[in-house]
Structure 1
Amino acid sequence: MEQYLETTKEVYKRAAETPDVGLCCTTTPIWAFPGLDIPKRMQQMNYGCGSTVHPRDLVNNPKILYVGVGGGMELLQFAYFSRQKDGVIGVDVVDEMLAASALNFKEAENLNDWFKSEFVSLRSGDALNLPVEDGSIDVAAQNCLFNIFHEEDLKKALKEMYRVLKPHGRLVLSDPVCENEMPDNLKEDPKLRALCLSGALPLKHYIDMITEVGFGTVEIRAKRPYRILDTDHYDTEKPIHIDSVEVCAIKDPMPEDGPCVFTGRTAIYTGKEEYFDDHAGHVLMYNQPLSVCDKTAGNLEKLNREYIYVSDSTFFYDGGGCC
């Protein structure tokens, strides 16, 4: 196993044995669902940079896979929407983390009348070779794990997620991204990779890697400031700003003209007619906002800039789009 993966296992082995509250700084508030009480230790072991739990993904009692279990908090939240035996599968390469989350689920049973530990199936396994059958999962998720991987391993991890998802299944990710050039000395530091910092990719490159695997639709649901690698504490000549993003990649067929990537852009038609039809499947009603993917936004800007306003990317998208 590569050195950086060994270092990662050691970091999270220690974090399983003794909760490390400052290890990651989740930028999304913890969802508060009726009747859900999350054990304190689970919250302390919430080693992520955002949230992968979105209620609109979790309809009709879905089968869910979560890779990199942490203290089990997001698995518990997923189980809230899939109250069936083995409805949620949690995979982790660190045995100590699996053991710690199993204990946390026992406490969760005492706090929540509806929850049973059997709702969650904990499995020892590797993100690069998932112990899960092809096409068996409705929603797959990972939080601040894939950022650790070097790019070749990241491609393997994404392909594995694509493999296990059903058609139109959803891969929900939360990872750090960085538009600054990451110095090689930081990029190759196994400890900084384990801490989900120096492996941060530019957002476009991150999205390109997702679509190259085959995901036909990608949604950027949130983008927030996350960390700064400053010159006093890190070996860098200038500060490096890192954001966290929450992304949903959908296993839709790939359109002939390329993937639909939603980065929170909106189009509004203000012409004299009742509506505008671009004859490519998109109808804009007068003065009614329509969320559009980047591809459609670019095409609309070319067609009629005078009567069609197209916003810049807000990096917030919550459905209801053009595709």
Structure 2
Amino acid sequence: MSYLETTRNVYKEAAENPQKGLCCTTTPVWQLPDLDIPPKMLEMNYGCGSTVHPRDLVRNPKILYVGVGGGMELLQFAYYSRQRSGVIGVDVVEEMITACKENFVTAEVLNPWFHSDFVELRKGDALHLPVEDNSIDVAAQNCLFNIFKQEELKQALKEMYRVLKPHGRLVMSDPTCEQEINDTLREDERLRALCLSGSLPLKDYIKMITDIGFGTVEIRARRPYRVLDPKRYATDELLYIESVEVCAIKDPMPADGPCVFTGKTAIYFGEEAFFDDHKGHILMPDQPLAVCDKTAGNLAALVGQDIFISPSTWFYDGGGCC
């Protein structure tokens, strides 16, 4: 049995018998006016963060969500879309699609504004998305890509890139780990299916994204997630896993490489009215400017300039350079 078959079986069981502890979501569930999430959806919240960000969901976007779970994030996306087939949900597990449809029936009762036809559910997998090229404004996945091995992950990212419109956004939440995870853990099919042993270091995760062609990457959150300890797992050391929320934008790739925002800020404290690096970045005195890591490095390399560059906060909320 392949690890992908094991994954399907794990989530088939999770669809038929909701498991509250299957994942450990690190982001509080959005509390929005007139949004009432059915209890079963909450029980089936099989993710490690959130992919629903209001600033992504403007001007009636066409939304794709891969790996539907119990439908909670589909319902949240529909809250902003509110149009027939405005949200497409794709899942390879038939039982999960069935459970999701059943949850939508309950959601209609609890939420007068919601209609099930706001969400179009399609059978398919992340490696072969049943979606047209350049047709999606916002694509999302939560704790799914962490399951894939490198070649499958590359293919899944290519598929997301293919279906997104120019400047479209891929919003993701996945576990990451800066320590080396041994082969025994990485090849454990069930642990990989549970998003515990497939974690990449964040730098490698970002490189996978930019290698596909995404010109802008935003690190929106980085939080503690789980530990794999020697008492319960095949490891000689305690492995610390974090969850990361990332937005990759299908912008053209800059000639000098991608813009990756990790929460760095530039502050000019000189005596001039402003500082202009003549590369599109103007710093006003004592006003922090969010900068990508590339720009932060270029500014830090300037000799004799009164500019402070903050460390990465691993939180970026828009604005700033580029």
Q: Do both share a fold (TM > 0.5)? A: yes
Q: Which structure 2 residues correspond to residues 1-323 of structure 1 after superposition, within 5 A?
A: 3-304=2-303, 307-323=306-322
1:126 maps to a residue whose letter is: D
SS in 2 for 1:243: strand
1:97 maps to a residue whose letter is: M
Per the TM alignment, residue 306 of structure 1 is displaced from its structure 2 partner at its CA by: 5.2
Per the TM alignment, residue 305 of structure 1 is displaced from its structure 2 partner at its CA by: 6.2
Q: 1 CA distance for matches of 2:184 and 2:65?
A: 31
Q: 2 CA distance for matches of 1:116 and 1:304?
A: 60
1:257 maps to a residue whose letter is: D
1:111 maps to a residue whose letter is: L
SS in 2 for 1:85: coil
CA RMSD of aligned residues (A): 0.8
SS in 2 for 1:238: coil
Q: 1 CA distance for matches of 2:82 and 2:16?
A: 28
Q: 2 CA distance for matches of 1:50 and 1:151?
A: 22
Q: 2 CA distance for matches of 1:320 and 1:55?
A: 15
Task: String of CA shifts for 1:217-261, please: whole Å, max 9, x gaps.
Answer: 000000001000011110100000000000000000000000000
Per the TM alignment, residue 181 of structure 1 is displaced from its structure 2 partner at its CA by: 0.3
Per the TM alignment, residue 163 of structure 1 is displaced from its structure 2 partner at its CA by: 0.2
1:159 maps to a residue whose letter is: K
SS in 1 for 2:171: strand
1:239 maps to a residue whose letter is: L
2:3 maps to a residue whose letter is: Y
Per the TM alignment, residue 318 of structure 1 is displaced from its structure 2 partner at its CA by: 0.4
The unaligned stretches of length 5 or more in structure 2 are none
Q: 2 CA distance for matches of 1:222 and 1:305?
A: 33
TM-score of the two chains, using structure 1 as the length reference: 0.99
Q: 2 CA distance for matches of 1:151 and 1:192?
A: 16
Per the TM alignment, residue 115 of structure 1 is displaced from its structure 2 partner at its CA by: 0.1
Q: 2 CA distance for matches of 1:183 and 1:256?
A: 37
TM-score of the two chains, using structure 2 as the length reference: 0.99
Q: 2 CA distance for matches of 1:160 and 1:311?
A: 35
Per the TM alignment, residue 321 of structure 1 is displaced from its structure 2 partner at its CA by: 1.9
Which of 271-280 and 109-118 deviates more? 271-280
Per the TM alignment, residue 272 of structure 1 is displaced from its structure 2 partner at its CA by: 1.1
SS in 1 for 2:301: helix
Per the TM alignment, residue 307 of structure 1 is displaced from its structure 2 partner at its CA by: 1.1
Q: 1 CA distance for matches of 2:137 and 2:69?
A: 21
Per the TM alignment, residue 320 of structure 1 is displaced from its structure 2 partner at its CA by: 0.4
Q: 1 CA distance for matches of 2:49 and 2:138?
A: 17
Per the TM alignment, residue 108 of structure 1 is displaced from its structure 2 partner at its CA by: 0.2
Per the TM alignment, residue 274 of structure 1 is displaced from its structure 2 partner at its CA by: 1.1
The unaligned stretches of length 5 or more in structure 1 are none
Per the TM alignment, residue 304 of structure 1 is displaced from its structure 2 partner at its CA by: 4.0
Q: 2 CA distance for matches of 1:202 and 1:291?
A: 24
Task: String of CA shifts for 1:188-208, please: whole Å, max 9, x gaps.
Answer: 110010000100000000000
Q: 2 CA distance for matches of 1:138 and 1:61?
A: 9
1:212 maps to a residue whose letter is: D
Task: String of CA shifts for 1:109-145, please: whole Å, max 9, x gaps.
Answer: 0000100000000010010000000000000000000
Per the TM alignment, residue 61 of structure 1 is displaced from its structure 2 partner at its CA by: 1.1
SS in 2 for 1:186: helix
SS in 2 for 1:316: coil
Counting matched residue pairs gives 322
Q: 2 CA distance for matches of 1:139 and 1:31?
A: 18
Q: Which runs of 4+ in 1 moved over 4 A?
A: none
Task: String of CA shifts for 1:92-111, please: whole Å, max 9, x gaps.
Answer: 00000000000000000000
